[in-house]
Each structure stands twice: as structure tokens, then as C-alpha cells.
Amino acid sequence: MKNRQQEAQAVREGIQFGAHGIQEGMRVTLETLQAVSRALDASIKGTHQLNQQVARVSLAAEQLGAKHADPALQKAAQKALETALTQLQTQNSQLQKTFSQAKKGVEQAQDSLPRPGRR
């Protein structure tokens, strides 16, 4: 009789341990996803702003090219476009790093979740 009580207690403790592990894993996953969401929101906003800047510079370059044959103005417009493109490429690279870090964080959180047959 005492043996069954001990087994039942061990099962309860195992279930409680597993439930706690699942809760902790879910909490870490949620925090990771929230951080990723904030980073992506900021990155999207930055990309949108850079896209607007590129559109404005591109329009200005077209207008300069149409109205003026001045090579110095055309060169300045080209330089502005190149700068905006570089900023977009940097933003894209940062976004890719954010995605990669987010993926690793989620995978680590998933790995920390208890699985049947694993303690």
C-alpha cells in the first residue's frame, strides 16, 4: 500500500515538474516573441522611412535630370540615391539578423520544453 502511495506521489511530482517546465518554456517563448515583434516593428518603421526617402530622392533626381543638364547637380542626386540605397541595405541586413536571432531564440525555448519520455 505504501509503495502505491509513493508511486502516486512520484507521478504527481513528475506531472507538476513537467507542467512547471512547460509554463516556463511558454513564458520564455512569449518573451522572445514579444521582443522579436518589437524589433520587427522598429525595423519595418525604419525601412518604411528609408523607402520614403529613396522615393523623394529619386523624384528629385528625375526632376534635376529633366530640368537641368548640370552634371554637378546630377552627381549630387546620384550620391544621395547611393546613400539611401546603402541605408536600405544596412536596414535589410539588420532585419535578417533580427529574424535569425528570433529563430534561434524560439528554437532554444522550444528545446527547453519538456517532452514525453524526456526528463
Q: Say if CB 10 and CB 61 are below 8 A apart.
A: no
pTM to 2 decimal places? 0.50
Percentage of the chain beyond pLDDT 90 is: 1
Has residue 34 been placed in a domain?
yes
119 within domain boundaries: no
pLDDT value of residue 116? 62
Max distance between CA atoms of the chain, in angstroms, equals 99
Whether residue 19 is predicted with pLDDT greater than 80 in this model: the reply is: yes
Per the prediction, the chain carries an average pLDDT of 78
pLDDT class for 44, splitting at 50, 70, 90?
confident
Q: What are the distances in angstroms from CA 115 to CA 4, 12, 17, 90, 112?
A: 25, 16, 12, 40, 9
Q: How many domains does the chain have?
A: 1
- Structural domain contains residue 27: yes
**What are the φ/ψ torsions at residue 69 (nearest 5 degrees)?**
-100, 10
Residues 6 or more apart in contact with residue 46 via CB below 8 angstroms: 91
DSSP string over 63-76? HHHHH---HHHHHH
15: in domain? yes
In a domain, 117, yes or no: no
**What percentage of residues in the chain have a pLDDT greater than 70?**
86
Q: Establish how many alpha carbons lie within 13 A of residue 92's alpha carbon, considering only the half-sphere containing its beta carbon.
A: 7
